[in-house]
Amino acid sequence: MDQKFIYTNFIMKLNLFRSLHEWQLISSFFVINKFKILKSAGLIILLTFVIHVGVSPLHKINEFKRLVRADSLFVEQYDSVYNHPDLESLVKESSYKQALLKLSEQDSIQLIINLHDSIVCLSIKGVIIHETHINNFKDDKVLKKLPNMEYVKLFSQALKIQSQWATIVKEPIVVRNAPKDTAEAALNAYQPDTLIQKPAFMKLELDHGIHIIFEQDLNPTFKHKFVRFIFKAKINVKNIYKEIFHFIRFQKSEYNPTIVIKMPADDLRAIYRAFPTNAYVVLNINT
């Protein structure tokens, strides 16, 4: 009995020793390879995040398709002949004209962006009150490759500005002393407004997640380059934060079709200060 007890106790201790030894080996393995494991895990997470962001344009394309299918009346009235490749330019031009016609019903100042003719206009009741030339622009790959049916659905009407942000003072206030005589008054009339000399950059967020970024065409000084850097950095940080938020919550990545437009700074300031907060935009991206 004593020998059996001693033997059993020996076996238990031996098993315990083996378990402790195995655990020590496992612990040593993880300690030695801790950096490699963390590095591999980090690379896997990073690769997954890149894929998550990379497929976001596909999500936007599918979103536009669902938008069309959800409007049964539009689908019923749409003529399939318009899908012919040779009619693409005419269909887009027709959509632009329809949007302008609907925009003319608005009482306040509205914005027209015509990439085909490289112009940006302000209009009220269908009358152009200001027009400026676009020096350069970068269109969006998703919007550029939209099928005719989806293009008509999106751009045959004006898009509402959901939010706007700019480095420009919306309503500048200039404080001046009253002139003592007519000579001083004449001098004050030609005194420049220092507020409007600030670098001009603007971002508009429209319906369907479409973004328009306006930049002044020239950045001659360090101040202008620095303001542009900060402006772009804020946009990029916001986009990265949004993507990370969607990633950790296992949500679809959100792609925002973005058009970048470069134009004279003075015209950009005038346009930003002219249109109201809840303005509408007509887009012609028939490039």
Q: Tell me: the pLDDT tens digits for 188-243?
A: 554 555 554 789 999 999 999 999 999 999 888 899 999 999 999 999 999 999 99
Structure tokens given for 206? 């429209």
Average pLDDT over residues 174-183: 60
Is 124 within 8 Å of 108 (Cβ atoms)?
Answer: yes
Percent of the chain at pLDDT exceeding 90: 54
Q: What is the pLDDT of residue 200?
A: 94
Q: What is the pLDDT of residue 42?
A: 81
Collapsed DSSP state (helix, strand, coil) of residue 284: strand
Residue 6 has pLDDT above 80, yes or no: no
CA contacts within 13 A on the Cβ side of 41: 6
Q: How far apart are CA 282 and CA 284, in angstroms?
A: 7
Higher pLDDT, 30 or 43: 43
Q: What is the pLDDT of residue 194?
A: 52
Beta carbons within 8 Å of 245's beta carbon, 6+ residues apart: 251
Q: What is the pLDDT of residue 7?
A: 45
Structure tokens given for 1? 């009995």
Q: What is the pLDDT of residue 45?
A: 86
Q: What is the pLDDT of residue 33?
A: 63
The burial of 89, by beta-carbon neighbours within 10 Å (0-12 exposed, 13-18 middle, 19 or more buried), is given as exposed
- Is the Cα dihedral 60, 137, 236, 269 positive or negative? negative
Q: Tell me: the pLDDT tens digits for 36-67?
A: 777 778 888 888 888 888 889 999 999 999 99
Residue 5 has pLDDT above 60, yes or no: no
Strands 119-124 and 127-133: antiparallel
Q: How far apart are CA 57 and CA 228, in angstroms?
A: 26
Domains for the chain: give ranges and CATH numbers.
33-284 (2.40.440.10)
Phi and psi dihedrals of 268, rounded to 5? Answer: -65, -40
Q: Considering the entire predicted model, what is its pTM?
A: 0.79
Q: Locate all alpha helices (DSSP H) within the chain, ordered by sequence.
A: 2-32, 34-54, 56-70, 72-77, 88-103, 141-144, 148-155, 182-189, 222-248, 265-274
Structure tokens given for 39? 């590095």
Q: Tell me: the pLDDT tens digits for 106-143?
A: 888 999 999 999 999 999 998 999 999 999 999 999 99
Phi and psi dihedrals of 127, rounded to 5? Answer: -105, 125
Q: How far apart are CA 205 and CA 188, in angstroms?
A: 38
